[in-house]
A and B are shown apart, each in its own frame.
Chain A
Amino acid sequence: GAGVSQTPSNKVTEKGKYVELRCDPISGHTALYWYRQSLGQGPEFLIYFQGTGAADDSGLPNDRFFAVRPEGSVSTLKIQRTERGDSAVYLCASSLTSGTDSPLHFGNGTRLTVT
């Protein structure tokens, strides 16, 4: 499809394990955002890419979280030594251009459950 695709849609992992979450943005969109959302709450900003580089990673909660976008398209959010508090829906969004003049297009998210 032409929308933002996130895989997997659901991920259950044990405390202490490593996980990778993938985001395929809309083709041609240069900006890519990762958000984390708890049930019934608004998305919380994690990191923003412009092209291949992380333009703003101020929302990453600690050094267990890392994200890459090596070719300026697909992005992977990596979480090391997962904790139960990491359980949430991780949303990816892309926009045509950088800055905030271009609207965000969201994927359906990856629901991460850490047991």
Chain B
Amino acid sequence: TQLLEQSPQFLSIQEGENLTVYCNSSSVFSSLQWYRQEPGEGPVLLVTVVTGGEVKKLKRLTFQFGDARKDSSLHITAAQPGDTGLYLCAGAAGNQFYFGTGTSLTVIP
């Protein structure tokens, strides 16, 4: 059972546009991670957020953890074709990481 719902499931945008991906849950997590996965490869960690309300920036990517530590968002500014991939959020609870349903992003040159 997936505890984390991501939206949208699919996103196709033009190069240079902005976008936001959402990760929502009814559960509280001790931390939340965002990964990007390319075809034929495993997910690669982008960022970990720990504190409710925390905002982290990674170049053109901005990650926010909800105040109640139940949800998170990923905002990409001026998307590039190299941003194409499957974006996954993962919430930490106990000794497990629960992965979201995934958002498949395609950036068209």
Contact surface of A with B, Cβ cutoff 8 Å? 4, 33, 35, 40-45, 48, 50, 55-56, 91, 93, 98-101, 103-109
Contacts of A101 in B (CB 8 A): 31
Task: State whether B45 touches A99 (Cβ < 8 A).
Answer: no
Which of A4, A42, A56 has a CB less than 8 Å from the CB of B42?
A: A4
Q: What bracket does the count of chain B residues touching chain A fall in?
A: 20 to 34
B40 at the interface (CB under 8 A from A): yes
Docked pose: A104 CA to B41 CA in angstroms? 14
4 A-B pairs with the lowest CB-CB distances in the bound complex, closest first? A106-B42, A100-B92, A42-B99, A42-B102
Minimum distance in angstroms from B10 CB to a CB of chain A: 8
User: What total count of A-B pairs have CB within 8 Å?
Assistant: 67
Task: State whether A108 touches B42 (Cβ < 8 A).
Answer: yes
- One digit per residue, 1 when the CB lies within 8 angstroms of any chain A CB and 0 when it does not, for chain B 15-50 equals 000000000000000110100000011111100100
**Secondary structure call for the B interface:** strand
Which of A40, A55, A91, A107 has a CB less than 8 Å from the CB of B102?
A: A40
Which of A42, A56, A98, A108 has a CB less than 8 Å from the CB of B101?
A: A42
Q: Which of B60-80 contact A (CB under 8 A)?
A: none
* Known contacts A56-B95, A103-B33, A103-B48; A40/B86 CB under 8 A: yes
Task: State whether A93 touches B88 (Cβ < 8 A).
Answer: no
Which of B6, B33, B94, B99 has a CB less than 8 Å from the CB of A44?
A: B99
A-B contact list, 6 entries, CB within 8 Å: A40-B86, A42-B6, A43-B43, A44-B2, A103-B33, A103-B48
